[in-house]
Amino acid sequence: MIVIMKPGAAEESVKAVISYIESNGLTAHLSQGKEVTIIGVVGDKTRLSTENLTVYKDVDRIVPVTESYKLANKKFHPEPTRVKAGNVVIGPDTMTIMAGPCAVETEEQLMCIARAVKDAGASILRGGAYKPRTSPYSFQGLEEEGLRYMKRAGEETGLATICEVVSLDAIEAAVKYVDMIQIGARNMQNFILLREAGRSGLPVLLKRGLCATIDEWLNAAEYIMSEGNPNVVLCERGIRTFETATRNTLDISAVPVMKEKTHLPIIVDPSHSTGSYKYVPSMAKAAVACGADGLMIEVHNDPAHALSDGPQSLTFAHFDQLTRELAPFCSLAGRSFQIKSEGKA
């Protein structure tokens, strides 16, 4: 449930409500908006007398929250959340572009991609060091060595960095090298991994599972948040449908649906959702137009020889052209987006 305080409620009144909630063994989450203060209650509600709560000074009303996810729920926290990864803020005012190779292959490869995506306007470098491939015989990633290259590339370019983690060991290693961790589609309901990501102290990008509903996805976010980590960003990356013309089906409507249900930022991955570089630009523009807070795009110096996901990777020229074409969409959507190179915006 949430307790909505009267506009201009006194600080002592808010404190009194919180202490009543806590004295009953429940947890209170304070959300202080410009006008209204909301206190979210998490825990066993049968331990609390709602009627008693209503007699507290400055309490306006009590609203039940029927959804099983609470901390991720917009009712708990009406203001949009801003998540910081390194020096980048992902949220409602900006367009954050995460770009880079599917997999970190060599240090030289990563460095040259990092410079190119930075020049074209990306602010976060992506690169997989642990690759959960469909086939066990496919390239599985450089693991900790790949994370080291990510750190160096981040230091050299000033880009923030993000890397997928697939195990508890990978989280332990990632904490030493990158600014943000990613939970991939295949691990969206790996609840032990989600809890551990919640304890890592790093912001988490949570990709939608291949067959996950919006509700299941939000509950996965709740696992991370319930460990005390509020810094979760959602990523729509396409779902399995009967359609085979694209690798997955981009559920673009997930963006406005999520905007209604949660305060967490949501970004779109047009690369994994379409599986083809040809469709990435149009889907990227659609994502910006429908309110996404960012994009994750695969870029490679030589897609034909990429060790993974070459067909969906953009060349440097394609990525550069895309960011220039995206600029007017970003400004129409009211989001700041800076292309670094002079004269290109």
Q: Give me the residues that bind Mn ion (CB under 5 A), please.
A: 102, 309
Give the residue ranges of DSSP H helices in the chain: 11-23, 50-54, 107-120, 144-157, 168-177, 191-199, 214-225, 254-261, 270-274, 280-289, 316-332
Residue sitting closest to ligand PEP (CB): 184
Tell me if 204 contacts ligand PEP by CB under 6 A. Answer: no
Tell me if 294 contacts ligand PEP by CB under 6 A. Answer: no
Q: CA–CA distance from 344 to each of 271, 321, 332 (Å)?
A: 23, 9, 17
Q: Which residue's CB is nearer to ligand PEP, number 132 or number 230?
A: 132
Q: Least distance to ligand PEP from the beta carbon of 243, Å?
A: 17
What letter does residue 128 receive in the DSSP assignment?
A: B
Tokens 């002079």 belong to residue: 342
Binding mask 107-136 for ligand PEP (x = CB under 6 A): ---------------------x--------
Q: Is 241 exposed, middle or buried (0-12, 13-18, 19+ CB in 10 A)?
A: exposed
Tell me if 14 contacts ligand PEP by CB under 6 A. Answer: no
Q: Which residue's CB is nearer to ligand PEP, number 184 or number 265?
A: 184
Tell me if 237 contacts ligand PEP by CB under 6 A. Answer: yes
Tokens 């070459």 belong to residue: 310
Are 53 and 3 in contact, with CB atoms under 8 Å apart?
yes
Are 203 and 176 in contact, with CB atoms under 8 Å apart?
no
- Binding to ligand PEP (CB under 6 A) within 248-287 occurs at 272
Pick the stretch among 107-115, 184-192, 257-265, 323-331 that binds ligand PEP (CB under 6 A): 184-192
Tell me if 184 contacts ligand PEP by CB under 6 A. Answer: yes
Tokens 């409500």 belong to residue: 17
Residue of 75, 118, 207, 335 that binds ligand PEP (CB under 6 A): 207
Residue sitting closest to Mn ion (CB): 102
Tokens 């429940």 belong to residue: 26
Tell me if 146 contacts ligand PEP by CB under 6 A. Answer: no
Angle of CA points 265, 268, 274, to nearest 5°: 165
Q: Which residue's CB is nearer to Mn ion, number 293 or number 309?
A: 309
- Catalog residues that contact ligand PEP under the rule CB under 6 A: 102, 128, 164, 184-186, 207, 237, 272
